Chain A
Amino acid sequence: MSTLDQIGKRTPYKVPEGFFESSADLIMARIEQEPRKVVRSRFFTSFRAYAAAAAAAIIVVLGSIFIFNESNHVSLNELNDDFMRLSSADRDQILDMYEDDLFLNL
């Protein structure tokens, strides 16, 4: 009759000759083919979030300016029509006023 104490940690298990060396080589070979997930540091994670927020803010501001300008845009034809609706006296006064304007005459 045997007891657990008599047997202790002895087991009947065996492994093939050189098993652990070849097993380690196989595992390392498989590991080398594994794609590694790139773990970004907290700095870059935060930086990316701030950059995304800044880009979104710029888009909103530029978009607003563009839409605002679009809604207030007056075409040259409309300007010409408005000008022609003025009295001849008013037209002469405007032409006299802007005749020497550097920016209008570029």
Chain B
Amino acid sequence: MDNKSIIKNMRADMQKGFRLLLDAYQEKLYWHLRRLLGSHDDASDALQETFIRIYRNFDSFKGDASALTSWIFRIATNEAMRMIERRPQPTAQIDDPTVQPLADEYVDYSDLEAVKLQNAILALPPKQRAVFNMRYYDELSYQEIADAVDTSVSAVKVNYHLAKEKIVNAIKS
């Protein structure tokens, strides 16, 4: 289901249209939130709040189909940032491999390389983490990311390249 059809359906019949949006974005947003927060429970809570906010605020969305993805990711990212501020997160230094911020029941710890990568990502400052994840995993354009985190395209590019450099160095060690 494309964004244009989702918007059209939501404007014609909110409940039916919202279900289509939920089906199209639920998994994408869950993984986005999970990579930002680490914990399954936190990602699950943030996912619910994100969709409630989307539902409550859809009338204020005035953009076209191309703007829907960044609008949704913006709401999700803001929800994750609120959660990071509210709940004390495990702190980590990206250059200290002995500190492991990733501690959750739903993690395959046997995949050492992948765990190491996620620990490196979780050690990034939250906004840089969001920028890296949206570019690397979700493949959003620099413009979409800039809209989602309310910054300039050049600031997004700088943040992404800085984050990638830190991560590459961290997983090499």
Chain A residues with a Cβ under 8 A of chain B: 1-4, 6-7, 9-16, 19-20, 23-24, 26-28, 30-32, 34, 36-37, 39
Inter-chain contact total with CB atoms closer than 8 Å = 91
- B107 at interface, CB cutoff 8 A: yes
Cβ-closest chain A residue relative to B56: A34
CA distance A34 to B172 in the complex (A): 49
Chain B residues with a Cβ under 8 A of chain A: 14-15, 18-19, 22-23, 26-27, 30-31, 34-35, 40, 44, 47-48, 51-52, 55-56, 59, 102, 104, 106-109, 111, 113-118, 136-137, 164, 167-168, 171-172
A23: chain B residues within 8 A (beta carbon):
26, 30, 44, 47-48
CA distance A13 to B22 in the complex (A): 21
A34: chain B residues within 8 A (beta carbon):
52, 55-56
**When the two chains form their complex, are residues A20 and B27 in contact, meaning their CB atoms are under 8 A apart?**
yes
A28 to chain B, nearest CB (A): 7
B26, B44, B117, most chain A CB atoms within 10 A = B117
Cβ-closest chain A residue relative to B138: A9
**When the two chains form their complex, are residues B117 and A39 in contact, meaning their CB atoms are under 8 A apart?**
no
CA distance A77 to B59 in the complex (A): 66
CA distance A15 to B117 in the complex (A): 19
